[in-house]
Structure 1
């Protein structure tokens, strides 16, 4: 059954697309990168900085929030937006990926996933119905179906075709249950289906086709960026994206590096999320138009120049490399905070550049210029 469409496709350039997704809490410009606020907070950043950096939408983590502080408590406090102070759109994942990462503590059945809480060891059951209930209690603008994700590896040492097909088929049955559980959601809120199938094109085709038959507001490509080479990820996008409706948003889950985003947008992807900007920032790494820069390196110790004197973000334009190096090497919290905001701002700047280039029909030129900047590398040391 077809669901209302809240996505407007504004322009295309090759397979790349730019559009507008309207949610109850605001409009999301696509392609969009969603910073990850795992437990209802952006590590090292205030929400106003996330908004000022250019983010329209952020991601919250169902697994972590249901365990602490609890979905019912958040609902009683007015939902995620009221609870956290973020006044824009939010997407919540289903919790399936986090449960996958607890492989030693979980049991998967047709009914649900049963696992032990990493907080207190309590036994928890997460079914498609409970996952949707939790996401509705949280009040996210976009909810995700419950799915099972199989971790991939370059040599298939930890997965098999049988494992991938079983998880894909189970995810399709859970997709139907998730949709039924979502039927009572207020108008304007959305549910996305998730394409699974590992690194097997045929499985991806089956999953995409059957999800489209079920009908969702949007479609995600899941089960990638979980150990496979980038070439495999891009090949699976090429297999999957054309099988999804052109008038619905396409979301690549858990991705990725700036290069990943550029390549995936070129293949028709509209939405992304990843912890990389803030996680790498906490480890002394900055994302810039010169590529990644490691502020731990001694070459920065006496350098009064900023990371990028042409950056639109004040911290990247005004703070010296020497000071950032000092903060990182000293373990000062401020260093992690500054690099996190610099990285989130760079990601948003990259997305805005892609949106503008698609709208003007110059995406290939933008790609080439961006790649050339990364390939050239950082400015010479002093």
Structure 2
């Protein structure tokens, strides 16, 4: 899982840079087009090289019956409804609009129904069995995973707002300014994984990681139009160091107190919680930025700006091109408005970071497994083991 995360981290970190280049040199549509050949190639390679073996011999019909069809239907519907609300909230409709409130409330209700169904006797093979939340350490680690996923995307999406809306960088330069994330994330994720493996303890790396992240988020709130390159680079590095050190010990913390039979379900839920948190890591700061902007923009000297920026446009318009379309005096006011609004964004992020640090104290140190007995495995690995046994 560590290596999977590392690849995921590199891809996520390189995304803003590649996206910035495509926007500057081509069109924003290329950001979506480029995913098609990459996803197609990945699917093709997975079908060839990912040969998984299952010890129990079952028919195709039995395998289909084991799938939690209704549970997955409820979960997919809930996530789609929430995603729809959070995607269009502020951008096309205000947060107070029924077009946002209705799908958001509906999604939350369906999500609750999903968990009720998963815990009922009607669900034989639950997608997310509630028993994996049955001990304190696993539950806390799942919550920490959600917060960590949220804060990771919080910084990845809103540091570019500072770079482009306050420092007046182009999308390509903004991607370059995010390079500390790419450079620092992977080494510290590896370091935390080795720390956990060598000591058998998953709490200390998390504490250090949350401390770095809290320090970095608090420091970001001090940035303004006159901040030096060293400041935002160091602050960004602190957050990235923390992000890398938090993520890799979380899965061992989740699985330490669970039986071996729940390893697959807990790993899938860990991934879901991380990704679900990332959704809120874009929506919550976006709403905060828009609300702050709406409260400040009315006092600007150019009253026409309010019509162009209220209603959720502050995030979309955070660009050098947009700000330079105004007179020099209005430009200064706009940059200052972005700077002041972002401070509140970072204050709220700091609060979530402190929460993550505090709840980690509630985890218990449970001895990690050194071996794993499971019904799943790679075919070629088992073949090598069998050959070694025969040779012996």
TM-score by length of 1: 0.27
Could you say which structure has the higher helix fraction?
2
Larger RCO, structures 1/2 (Cα 8 Å, 6+ apart): 2
The alignment's TM-score, normalised by the length of structure 2, stands at: 0.27
